[in-house]
Structure 1
Amino acid sequence: MPQPCRLTVLDTITDAGKPGRPNEDRFGHNADAAFVLDGATGLGDRQFIDGYGSDAAWIAEFGTERLTQRLDAHADPRDILRAISAEARDTFLAIAGDQPRYAWPLCSLTALRTTPTGFQYFGLGDSCLYLLHDGGTSDFVIPIPGAYEWEQHRAAEHIARLGGIGATGSANSDPQTLEDLRRGRALQNTPDGFTWTFGIVPEAADHLVMVDVPVSGGGATALLCSDGLADLVALYKAYDAGSLVRAAMDKGLAALVAELRHFERELDPDGLQYPRFKQSDDTTAILLRLSVEANSPLRDFRF
C-alpha cells in the first residue's frame, strides 16, 4: 500500500568552515527519510581513526552510511541508533583503547522521516528543523531548547576574557577554554549531564527526541540543518524560521551559506559583535518538500 506522505529533496549543501580543515558534517537521505549529522570538534590530544580527517568526521560518516541503509518508515529510530552506536563503540575502542570521555567522538543529529501515519522528526544535540507550512505558519524544532543561546553566552565569556576568537579561528587553542569545553564534553551522554548526542554511547538512543510533524493544507517545506546555518537565525538574526525556509526556496542553499560566510569572515571575523567559539563553522542543510496525498486524512492533521 503506498505511503500517504512523501519527502522530496529539493536542495542540499555541505560546506567546510575553514579551508584545509576536514568538514565534520554529513547529510543523507533515502526513500523514507533525510538527516543531517554534525560532528563535534574533537577535544582530545590526537586523532585515532585514520582516513577521515578527524574522529568527528568519522562518526558522522559512520552514522550517515548506516542510517541511509537502515532507516525506513516502519523501524524504530531508537533501535536503529542504539545498534549503530554499539557498532561505533566497538570500532572506536578497538583502535583507541581506553580514552577520557571528552575524546570520544560524537555528533548532533536532526532527521525527518515518513511513517504510515504521517511525518516524524527525531534528533539529538543541537542541529535543528525549520518548517514552513503552505498556509504561511512556521515551526522550529531542536532537541535541546535554548542550546544556541547557552552557547552564545559561553562564547561571550571566552571573547570577553581573550578579546576575540583568536588567530587560529577557534577557541580550542586557549588552554582555559579548552579545559572548560572538555569538562562539559565529558558530561555528555551521562546521567550527570544535560546533553545527549549520537556517538559511541548506545544509551543515548533512549533520550532521542521524537516529535510528530503535522502538515495542514496538503504540504510544507522543511529545512534540516546543522547549527552552522542556524546561526543565520539564532546568532545573526538575519531571518526567522519562516523567512529562512522561504529564502532557501527562493535563493538556494548556496546563497544562504555565502551570506553566512559574509557575516563570519567579513563583518565579524573575531566574534566581537556575534560571540561564537569558531570564526566559521561547518554548515550542512537539506531542503525538503513534505507532501500529503489529496485524499489522505492526514491532510488535516495538526498539532
Structure 2
Amino acid sequence: MAHNLSSSTYARGRRSFSEDAFAVTSDAAIVLDGASGLGGEQITDWGTDVEWFSHTLTQQLAATVSGPGTLHDIAAEAVAAVADTEPGRTLSDPSRPTEFRPSAAGAIARVRDGKLQVLSFADVSAVVFLTDGTFEELNSPVLLQLDADMLAAAQSEADARGITAREGMKYVHDAKVFARRHMNTPHGYSVLTLDGAGIPLATYREWDATQVTDVILATDGYAAAVEIGLFDDWDHLRRTVTETSLHIPAIRLLQAYDNDPDFITYPRSKHVDDITAVHVRVGRG
C-alpha cells in the first residue's frame, strides 16, 4: 500500500536569520538545528558559519533522501558532499578546536518500503504518533542533561553574584565548551559535523507505516513548548496543531518567554531560540 505524506511547517529565527533549517519532499522530512559557534571567527558570508552548514546540508539531504541507500548512507554522502566544498574544507580542518567547528542536531524521517524510518541526532525531537494512541519520542537524554547542568551553573552564578539567571548565563562559557566536547563520543551525543563522525552513533528507529498517523520533527526551540509545561505532553501539542496550526504552540511559547524576561520561571540559555517544526501526516494511498 502506498503512503501519501502531507505536511505543514513553522520557522522563526531569533535574529534576521536562523541556524535552523528544514525541508520536505514527497516521502521525507528533514529538520536541522545548527549549534551556535563558540568562537568569534567567521569565514562565510552567511549570518554565521553554522547557518551556512545547516542550510547547505539540509539542501543536500533533500536532494538525495528519496534515492537508494539507508538513511545513514544518505547522511554520510550528504555530509561528504558539503565537506568537499569551500568553505567546507576550511571549516573541517582538524586543527580547529572541536567547539569551533560547525555542527547540527537533526532528524530525518522517511517512508520507504512500507516503513517509517527515522534517523535522529542530538536534541531535535522526532515524535512518532501511532494508531493505538501512543507516541514515541527520539532525542538525546545526554545532551538534555548537559543543558540542564549548564542552566544550573548559570543559576548558581546568579545566586552567588546577586544577579538574574539571564545575566548568569554570561558566566558559564566553560560549561558550554564542556558540553560541546561531548559531541560524537561513545558516552556523549551524536551530531552532524563535516567529518561525519556522528553518523554511526545516531539513533535509528523504524515503524510499520500503517501504524503511524503523524510525525513531528521539532528543534529544541519549538520542543520547549512541551518541556516547560505549556502542553501536557506531545499528544496534547499534536491535537492542538491538528485543530489549529503549528503557529499556536510557538505563539504561546513566545508569550511565556516575554512574560519572563529574567529567565526565572523558564530557565534557558537565551531569551528565545530559533523555532522550527514540521508536522507530517501519514495517509494511505
Fold agreement, TM-score > 0.5: yes
How far apart, in 2, do the equivalents of 1:205 and 1:290 lie? Answer: 26
- CA RMSD after TM alignment: 2.3
**Which of these residues, 257, 276, 286, is aligned with residue 278 of structure 2?**
286
Match of 2:110, SS state, is strand
How far apart, in 2, do the equivalents of 1:13 and 1:145 lie? Answer: 25
Match of 2:150, SS state, is helix
User: Which residue matches 2:34?
Assistant: 39
Displacement of 1:14: 0.6
Aligned length: 278
How far apart, in 2, do the equivalents of 1:181 and 1:76 lie? Answer: 33
User: Which residue matches 1:110?
Assistant: 107
Match of 2:166, SS state, is coil
How far apart, in 2, do the equivalents of 1:269 and 1:92 lie? Answer: 37
How far apart, in 1, do the equivalents of 2:101 and 2:142 lie? Answer: 24
Match of 2:198, SS state, is helix
Structure 1 range deviating more: 106-115 or 133-142: 133-142
- Aligned residue type for 1:105: P
How far apart, in 1, do the equivalents of 2:88 and 2:108 lie? Answer: 27
User: Which residue matches 1:6?
Assistant: 4
Match of 2:96, SS state, is coil
Match of 1:263, SS state, is helix
Match of 1:203, SS state, is coil
State TM-score, norm by structure 2. 0.88
- Find out whether 1:133 has 2:99 as its counterpart: no
- For residues 117-175 of structure 1, the C-alpha deviation after alignment (integer angstroms, 9 at most, x for no partner) is 31111111110122333443222222x135435423421221231243436xx93xx2x
Contact 1:6-1:114 at 8 Å conserved across structures:
no
State TM-score, norm by structure 1. 0.83
How far apart, in 2, do the equivalents of 1:34 and 1:231 lie? Answer: 20
Q: Which runs of 5+ in 1 are unaligned?
A: 294-303
**Which of these residues, 242, 248, 258, is aligned with residue 265 of structure 1?**
258
Q: Which runs of 5+ in 2 are unaligned?
A: none
- For residues 239-278 of structure 1, the C-alpha deviation after alignment (integer angstroms, 9 at most, x for no partner) is 3011111111112111211111111122x22211221111
User: Which residue matches 1:159?
Assistant: 155
- Find out whether 1:27 has 2:22 as its counterpart: yes
Q: 1:253 to 1:281 in 2, by over 3 A?
A: same
How far apart, in 2, do the equivalents of 1:157 and 1:209 lie? Answer: 29
How far apart, in 2, do the equivalents of 1:115 and 1:94 lie? Answer: 33
- Aligned residue type for 1:39: G
How far apart, in 1, do the equivalents of 2:210 and 2:257 lie? Answer: 37
How far apart, in 2, do the equivalents of 1:56 and 1:230 lie? Answer: 21
How far apart, in 1, do the equivalents of 2:195 and 2:185 lie? Answer: 9
Displacement of 1:48: 1.9
Q: 1:234 to 1:177 in 2, by over 3 A?
A: same
Structure 1 range deviating more: 274-283 or 77-86: 77-86
Displacement of 1:47: 1.6
